[in-house]
Amino acid sequence: MSPLRRLAVLLYSADPGLGRMLQYWAATCVLYVVCIVQMLVQVEQGISDGQAATAVIAFAAVGALSFYLMIRFGARIGLKPDQLAVSQAVFSLVCGGWAYAISGPLRAAVLLMTVVIIVFCMFAARPRQTLMLSVGTIAGMGATMWWLQAHDPAGFPPMTELLTFGYLAGALLATAVLSGEMHKLRSRLKRQRRELTEALETIRVLATVDELTSLVNRRRMHEVLEEQERRQPSGGQHGKGCCVALLDIDFFKQVNDRYGHATGDAVLRCFSQAARASLRAEDVLARWGGEEFLLLLPDASPEDARTVLERMAERVHTMPVPGLDDRCISFSAGLATRHAGEPFAEAIGRADKALYRAKEAGRDRIVLA
């Protein structure tokens, strides 16, 4: 990691949740900077008192820095994101009230910032917290305005303060109501996103998995083979080659006829489980149709593949199937190595011919193409 990136991670954190909170913090800092510049211009123009403005600016700067530290290391001190958001808002509102008191004729404009702070809160705090903040701000600003008009009626005419307070209270209450609506909308969107993700997963499973055996279905297997052709156009890795085998359960019609279709289904399920238990993680077994299965063995020589199929045959011979008494299940297999650059369709065609020969030769055997 470069030193610059390490510094960025240290300041900004690699955790996306924390990163988002720090983004909000950075956005509030931009607002603070804008307000500080305005305040300096006000001092320059003789609208605000220089000492009072310096005190507000210092208070805001120290507060912003403290909040950065609290957000960055908040997890260690056990502060929750919404608690941090509310504390930040309370701090900003105190700054806003103070700025109001020293901004002379521009004070009504400062109130705009107060509304902006509450709107910011809507994104991070709960609707109840936003409502409490709005009510608290109305009470706090009401008290400030009352105190200012009582102590300096010439600078803060009572009627002007009262009307300004009315506008502020209306705006804050409307914002709090809006926050509730936005929260509902966000909850609905979250639920819809979760439902959509679940629906997509269901569709994906239905499109790729065989319902009876839970094996990969024929459609998905075609995709797997295409991916394999793209990844290894010349055959298998490590010079071992790649094998395909077509497997077909022997005398399956007899099972259906004698024991019933439900037992036939149970045989297919048990066969799939037993067969899958004999494979490596990279091997893919698909239900190719009816009682026929296609096995892809990437990076396997024909000898390796035969060993796998023999191990599989042993498991299948001894697997218990509910409702089948003592009848032993077997399968025949046609095995083919995929030649370099050969399309899988051709290798599967050769495996199919080998399977036919295995059936002809008496079943329960593996024939190499």
Ligand X SMILES: Nc1nc2c(ncn2[C@@H]2O[C@H](COP(=O)(O)OP(=O)(O)OP(=O)(O)O)[C@@H](O)[C@H]2O)c(=O)[nH]1
Compute the CA torsion angle 73, 74, 75, 80 (nearest 10 deg).
Answer: -160
In the complex, the smallest distance separating the C-beta of residue 359 from ligand X, rounded to whole angstroms, is: 5
CA torsion sign for 132, 133, 139, 142 is: negative
Nearest to 251 by CA among 338, 353, 331, 189: 331
If the CB atoms of residues 194 and 261 are measured against ligand X, the closer one turns out to be 261
CB distance 124 to 92 below 8 Å: no
Residue number, nearest CB to ligand X: 264
Q: Which residues pair with 285 in a beta bridge?
A: 295
Instruction: Give the chain's radius of gyration (CA, Å).
Output: 37
Structure tokens at 110: 């400062």
Residue of the chain from 183, 276, 339, 363 that contacts ligand X (CB under 6 A)? 363
CB distance 336 to 369 below 8 Å: yes
> Which listed range, 16-24, 162-170, 245-253, 339-347, lies at the site for ligand X (CB under 6 A)?
245-253
Walk across the sheet containing 292-297 and list its strands: 284-289, 292-297, 242-249, 331-338, 366-368
252 binds ligand X (CB under 6 A): yes
Number of residues near ligand X (by CB under 6 A): 17
In the complex, the smallest distance separating the C-beta of residue 255 from ligand X, rounded to whole angstroms, is: 8
In the complex, the smallest distance separating the C-beta of residue 84 from ligand X, rounded to whole angstroms, is: 58
Nearest to 320 by CA among 262, 258, 260, 267: 267
Per-residue DSSP letters for 308-361?
Answer: HHHHHHHHHHH---TT-TTPPP-EEEEEEEEPTT--HHHHHHHHHHHHHHHHHT
> Which listed range, 172-180, 186-194, 248-256, 313-321, lies at the site for ligand X (CB under 6 A)?
248-256
246 burial level (CB within 10 Å; 0-12, 13-18, 19+): buried
Convert residues 304-343 into a mask of x (bound to ligand X by CB under 6 A) and - (unbound): ----------------------------------------
Beta strands in the chain (DSSP E): 242-249, 284-289, 292-297, 331-338, 366-368
> Which listed range, 111-119, 264-272, 273-281, 309-317, lies at the site for ligand X (CB under 6 A)?
264-272
Residue of the chain from 87, 208, 214, 256 that contacts ligand X (CB under 6 A)? 256
Asked if 291 is an active-site residue, the reply is yes
Ramachandran bin of 363, using left for φ above 0, alpha for ψ from -120 to 50, beta for the remaining angles: left
194 binds ligand X (CB under 6 A): no
* 237: number of Cβ within 10 Å: 13
Residue of the chain from 32, 251, 259, 356 that contacts ligand X (CB under 6 A)? 251
253 binds ligand X (CB under 6 A): yes
Residue list 341-360, contact with ligand X (CB under 6 A) = 359
290 binds ligand X (CB under 6 A): yes
Place of tokens 């009307």: 163
Residue list 212-241, contact with ligand X (CB under 6 A) = 212
249 binds ligand X (CB under 6 A): yes
If the CB atoms of residues 87 and 256 are measured against ligand X, the closer one turns out to be 256
67 binds ligand X (CB under 6 A): no
271 binds ligand X (CB under 6 A): no
264 binds ligand X (CB under 6 A): yes
In the complex, the smallest distance separating the C-beta of residue 257 from ligand X, rounded to whole angstroms, is: 8
Q: Tell me how far apart the alpha carbons of residues 271 and 319 are, in angstroms, rounded to a whole number.
A: 8
258 binds ligand X (CB under 6 A): no
If the CB atoms of residues 95 and 216 are measured against ligand X, the closer one turns out to be 216
Nearest to 302 by CA among 336, 326, 334, 268: 336
250 binds ligand X (CB under 6 A): yes
- Which residues does 324 contact at the CB level (< 8 Å), separation at least 6? 255, 259, 263, 266, 267
364 binds ligand X (CB under 6 A): no
Residue of the chain from 223, 265, 303, 360 that contacts ligand X (CB under 6 A)? 265
Q: Tell me how far apart the alpha carbons of residues 214 and 302 are, in angstroms, rounded to a whole number.
A: 27
269 binds ligand X (CB under 6 A): no
Catalytic: which of 44, 198, 223, 291? Answer: 291
261 binds ligand X (CB under 6 A): yes
The residues annotated with a catalytic role in the active site are 291
Binding site for ligand X (CB under 6 A): 212, 248-254, 256, 261, 264-265, 268, 290-291, 359, 363
